[in-house]
Amino acid sequence: MPFTYPEINLTPLLPALIPAVTAMLIMLADALLPGKNKSWLAWLALLGLGVAAFYTFVLFGSNASAFNNSVVADNFALGVSFVILAAAFVTILLSIEFLDARQLDMGEYLALLLGAVSGMILMALANDLIVVFLGLELFSLPLYVLSAFWRTNNASLEAGMKYFLLGAFSSAFFLYGIALLYGATGTTNLSGIRNALGISPTINPLFLAGAGLLLVGFGFKVGLVPFQWWMPDVYEGAPTPVTAFMSVATKAAAFAAFFRAFMVAIPSDVFDWQTTFAILAVLTMTIGNVAALTQTNLKRMLAYSSIAHAGYILVALVVASEAGLAAALFYFAAYAVMNLGAFGGLIALGQGDKERLTLDELSGAAQQKPWAAAALTISLLSLAGFPPFAGFVAKFFVFSAAVNAGYVWLAVLGVLNSLVSVYYYLGPVIKMYMSPPAEGWALAPSRTPVFLATAVFVAVLLTIALGLFPAEVLNFAQAAMVR
């Protein structure tokens, strides 16, 4: 039998390749060029992200594919890629002064961050389970290191170790699931799996086991119950800009592959997984919100908040329609800007290398840094779902899609969970504006670093803009469906 060479076309991979090449250039420049101040490397990283975003925009509408359809640059994948690139751009702006204040290595940090971006985009573009796994590992390994990047901080080292051990464990489940699916269908290509399922009138138990293990792997990365226990400890211990990036970019990349795997490879007309996912969505949003109610550490609170939002996003997968996918893509964008704004506001409220991480430390912060307190307030209100911010519109679209698909009960439970979340989102706001200043913090207003201020301003501005003018983004999201 003659060997068939795969189609080699790197154009669809450019959004993933450009950050990887930029990471290598940064490592070379960091090693070879003299000087202790390497903050200028951030400009090189931002340039690389800008070029990648440009090529992502160029590829819109092309539906380009490569490597025998193992990589597909359809509009949905490109939309998710754009969200990841934008999140990385804002994260770098949040990180510049943060790293300088703590004397952390700029070159290593940026190279690892861009490596993670490359893996996330590869995962979003993947139409083959092997490529999904490659993307998963490519972004997971840098994030393990970034979580422990603050080497003199024991909490950061602990976060990196926990993330590495549990992440490796979940990756093993995911890889074993791929092996079982290959054994059941004879292929790892998502379209090929669907075709193989259409041939057989019965469901192979091997296939069910493989699909279950895939769910474990995806569930760990996006923070679904009961695979979410790592998130609070890792989010609390990791450097705050890393936590901000992980909370939005990892979720977008993993959910993109999650959606594609189950909607393309395992459609609901072959195997009814929608009821299972509906139950998971309710458990995830409920446990996330209830656990957040008792938190006094802001990063842990936002970690449980992230778990709850994973439940809201999963509702869109339960719907399994174009409206659900469009709502999910809009939710990715909205969640990215409001969560980055929240973490950015938290960093901005600090002084030097000190951070306000507890509710008590936030007391009276509005008197000392009114603009940072306002930014954090807007972001938290958006996360809670208050109009006219992005979070309200995102939840409205997701719950509307659920109602239109007949899942009224799921939408009602989602709204009730959003009401519960108001309690813990308003807690920091009340502390900042209605409590006397905390002891040990300077009363006089202090200057906020320019890059940090720019990042927070952009995130908050987009949070407001997506809430007031959602039509343009939603129209794009509706056109960006998985083909």
At residue 442, the pLDDT reads 54
Q: For tokens 């490529």, name the residue.
A: 131
> Dihedral sign, CA of 18, 23, 27, 33?
positive
| Alpha helices for 349-406 (secondary structure H) | 365-368, 370-384, 390-404
What is the pLDDT at residue 483? 45
Query: What does the pLDDT read at residue 7?
Result: 61
Instruction: Give the Cα separation of 464 and 337 in Å (integer).
Output: 10
Distance, CA of 21 to CA of 111 (rounded, Å)? 10
| Stated length of the chain | 483
The whole-number pLDDT of residue 60 equals 84
Cα torsion angle, 3, 182, 313, 116, sign = negative
Take residue 30 and report the two structure tokens written for it.
Answer: 């960091």
* Per-residue confidence (pLDDT) for residue 352, from 0 to 100: 62
- What is the C-alpha to C-alpha distance for residues 458 and 43, in angstroms, rounded to an integer? 17
246/253 Cα distance (integer angstroms): 10
Strands (E), 74-122: none
Distance CA 469, CA 293 (A): 31
Could you read off the pLDDT tens digit of each residue along the chain, which spans 483 residues?
565 665 667 888 899 999 999 999 999 988 887 767 777 888 999 999 999 999 988 888 778 888 888 888 888 889 899 999 999 999 999 988 888 888 888 889 999 999 999 999 999 999 899 999 999 999 999 999 999 888 888 888 888 898 888 888 889 999 999 999 988 888 888 888 888 876 665 677 888 888 889 988 999 888 888 887 888 889 988 889 999 999 999 999 999 998 888 888 877 666 677 888 899 999 999 999 999 999 888 989 999 999 999 999 999 888 877 777 888 889 999 999 999 999 998 888 876 666 767 788 888 878 888 888 899 999 999 999 898 899 999 999 999 989 988 889 999 999 999 999 999 999 899 988 887 776 665 554 566 678 888 899 999 999 999 888 887 777 776 665 544
Residue type, 76: F
pLDDT at 482: 44
